[in-house]
């Protein structure tokens, strides 16, 4: 048993969940999660992951805090304007759980550094909302054969799925062409809703319950409060994973 009495007390309510006993909790403690982006989705999901006992999180974001992000990126305050998001996020997240490690890097994710940045992690989470960078992250998921929890929000619409080369589709199987340009319109809680769902899926995967959204895209319509879903399949002609057939684990 690697959990201390204080941890058993801290997590006692989630330990009571069916399928979420001490074994799952120990798995969470050993989990290393990479989060691309430190914006609205990440503000919600990182707090939940650390509070739930995930052992190590690395967040990467190269931007600075601007006034128009404060309404939905809950890491940041007025006093943080113009400061690096990564530094602030790290400082705030370190207060969440003394049993977890947090590292935030102020860096742009590029073709050149992505494999090094994601090396040694068990799970990738995409909060980027930027297709060129998402494609770069997808390459790391293929190379390291890691699950990649993808979410995007725009206006009152959100989508969420888990890509896992070797087990299911990758980003480019689902989007061979870039999705329509993001209008940047957004109601703040949409980030919290989708980010929280990403955290749920991450805890399932890292806790050993397996992904709920492999091959399924969950769509949330915030205008009418409706969930819908869309089936996703591996594309045997995918330019990125080549259908993943050779990666079957």
- Give min distance, CB of 169 to Zn ion, in A: 6
- Give min distance, CB of 230 to Zn ion, in A: 16
* Site residues (vs Zn ion, CB under 5 A): 170, 172-173, 238, 240-241
Which residue's entry shows tokens 């931007």? 63
Q: Taking Cα atoms as reference points, which of 116, 109, 151, 149 lies closest to residue 133? A: 109
Kindly tell me which of 127 and 244 has the beta carbon lying closer to Zn ion: 244
- Give min distance, CB of 132 to Zn ion, in A: 17
Which residue's entry shows tokens 């989705």? 41
- Give min distance, CB of 100 to Zn ion, in A: 32
Kindly tell me which of 41 and 171 has the beta carbon lying closer to Zn ion: 171
> 151-154 long-range contacts, Cβ below 8 Å, gap at least 24?
151/41, 151/126, 151/127, 151/194, 151/195, 151/197, 151/198, 152/179, 152/182, 152/194, 153/40, 153/41, 153/129, 153/186, 153/190, 153/191, 153/194, 154/129, 154/182, 154/183, 154/184, 154/185, 154/186
CB contact set of 95 (below 8 Å; sequence gap of 6+): none
Nearest-CB residue to Zn ion?
Answer: 238
Kindly tell me which of 36 and 170 has the beta carbon lying closer to Zn ion: 170
- Give min distance, CB of 173 to Zn ion, in A: 3
Give the separation between CA 144 and CA 216, rounded to whole angstroms: 22
Kindly tell me which of 140 and 241 has the beta carbon lying closer to Zn ion: 241
Kindly tell me which of 155 and 243 has the beta carbon lying closer to Zn ion: 243
- Tokens representing 3 are 């959990």
């Amino acid at each position: 048993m690697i959990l201390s009495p204080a941890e058993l007390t801290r997590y006692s309510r989630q330990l009571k969940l069916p399928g979420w006993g001490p074994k799952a909790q120990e798995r969470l403690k050993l989990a290393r999660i990479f989060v691309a982006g430190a914006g609205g989705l990440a503000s919600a999901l990182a707090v939940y992951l650390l509070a739930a006992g995930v052992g190590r999180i690395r967040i990467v974001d190269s931007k600075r805090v601007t006034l128009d992000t404060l309404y939905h990126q809950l890491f940041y305050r007025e006093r943080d304007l113009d400061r690096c998001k990564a530094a602030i996020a790290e400082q705030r997240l370190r207060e969440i759980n003394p049993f977890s490690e947090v590292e935030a890097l102020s860096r742009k994710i590029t073709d050149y550094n992505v494999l090094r940045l994601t090396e040694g992690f068990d799970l990738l989470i995409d909060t980027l909302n930027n297709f060129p960078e998402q494609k770069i992250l997808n390459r790391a998921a293929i190379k390291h054969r890691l699950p990649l929890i993808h979410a995007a929000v725009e206006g009152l619409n959100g989508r969420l799925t888990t890509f896992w080369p070797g087990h299911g589709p990758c980003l480019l199987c689902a989007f061979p062409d870039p999705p329509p340009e993001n209008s940047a319109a957004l109601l703040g809680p949409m980030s919290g809703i989708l980010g929280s769902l990403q955290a749920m899926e991450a805890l399932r995967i890292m806790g050993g319950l397996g992904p709920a959204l492999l091959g399924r895209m969950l769509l949330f319509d915030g205008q009418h409060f409706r969930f819908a879903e869309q089936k996703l399949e591996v594309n045997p002609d995918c330019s990125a994973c080549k259908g993943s057939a050779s990666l079957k684990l």
